C-alpha cells in the first residue's frame, strides 16, 4: 500500500463512518417498521387516512433547500472559501429552524381540525412518524451550530484558516453531516409520498 493511500484508507474505516452507517441503518429499519405498522393498522382497522397539511409539501422544499446549502458548504470548504462556507452553514441552520417551526404549525393545523393523536390509530402513527423525523432533524441542528461556531472562532486569520481547511477530521465530519442531512431529506420525501399514496387509496 502506498503512503498516499493510507490516510484515505484510514478515513474509510474511521469510527465516525462506521457509527453513521449503523445509525442510518437503524433509522431506516425504524421507519420501515413504523410505516409497515401504519399499513397493517389501516388493514386491520379500516379508517380514513389523515389528509396531509399543505405545509408538509412546503417542508419538502425547505429540506431540499437545506440539502442544497449543505452541498454549498461542502464545496466552499473544499475551495477554501471562508465567508461562503460560514454563510452556507448559517443558511442551513435557518432553513432547519424554519422547517421545525413549519412542522409545528402543520400539527397545530391538524389540532384545529380536531385531529388529535387519539383520533384514530392512523392518526397516532401519523403523529409518531412525523415526530420521530422531526426529532432526527432537531438532533442534527446542534452539530450544524458547532460547525458554525468552530468556523467563526477558528477562522480569524490566514494561518488559522489554512489549518482549519487542511484538517482531515473536520473534512470527514462535514462529509458525514452532509450525508446525514441528505438522508433526512430523502426520508422526508419517502414519508410524504407514502402518506400521499395512502390518501389516494380509499
Question: How confident is the model over 145-174, as pLDDT tens digits?
Answer: 999 999 888 887 788 888 888 888 888 999
Per the CB < 8 A criterion, the answer to whether 103 and 127 are in contact is: no
Mean pLDDT by 10 residues, the chain (202 residues): 44 78 95 94 83 93 97 93 94 97 95 89 93 96 94 83 85 93 96 92 72
DSSP string, 39-108: HHHHHHS--PPPPPPHHHHHHHHHHHHHHHHHHHHHHHHHTT-HHHHHHHHHHHHHHHHHHHHHHHHHHH
5-200 classified as CATH 1.20.120.80: yes
pLDDT at 63: 96
CA distance 16 to 173: 8
What global pTM score does this model have?
Answer: 0.88
Domain locations along the chain: 5-200
Amino acid at each position: 500500500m502506498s503512503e498516499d493511500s493510507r490516510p484515505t484508507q484510514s478515513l474509510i474505516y474511521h469510527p465516525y463512518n462506521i457509527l453513521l452507517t449503523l445509525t442510518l441503518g437503524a433509522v431506516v429499519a425504524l421507519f420501515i417498521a413504523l410505516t409497515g405498522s401504519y399499513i397493517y393498522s389501516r388493514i386491520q382497522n379500516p379508517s380514513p387516512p389523515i389528509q396531509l397539511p399543505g405545509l408538509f409539501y412546503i417542508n419538502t422544499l425547505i429540506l431540499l433547500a437545506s440539502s442544497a446549502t449543505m452541498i454549498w458548504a461542502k464545496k466552499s470548504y473544499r475551495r477554501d472559501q471562508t465567508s461562503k462556507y460560514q454563510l452556507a452553514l448559517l443558511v442551513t441552520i435557518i432553513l432547519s429552524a424554519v422547517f421545525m417551526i413549519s412542522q409545528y404549525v402543520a400539527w397545530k393545523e391538524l389540532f384545529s381540525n380536531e385531529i388529535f393523536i387519539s383520533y384514530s390509530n392512523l392518526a397516532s402513527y401519523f403523529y409518531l412518524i412525523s415526530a420521530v423525523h422531526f426529532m432526527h432533524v432537531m438532533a442534527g441542528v446542534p452539530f450544524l451550530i458547532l460547525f458554525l461556531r468552530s468556523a467563526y472562532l477558528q477562522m480569524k486569520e490566514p494561518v488559522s484558516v489554512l489549518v482549519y481547511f487542511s484538517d482531515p477530521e473536520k473534512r470527514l465530519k462535514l462529509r458525514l453531516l452532509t450525508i446525514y442531512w441528505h438522508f433526512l431529506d430523502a426520508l422526508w420525501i419517502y414519508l410524504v409520498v407514502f402518506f400521499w399514496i395512502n390518501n389516494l387509496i380509499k
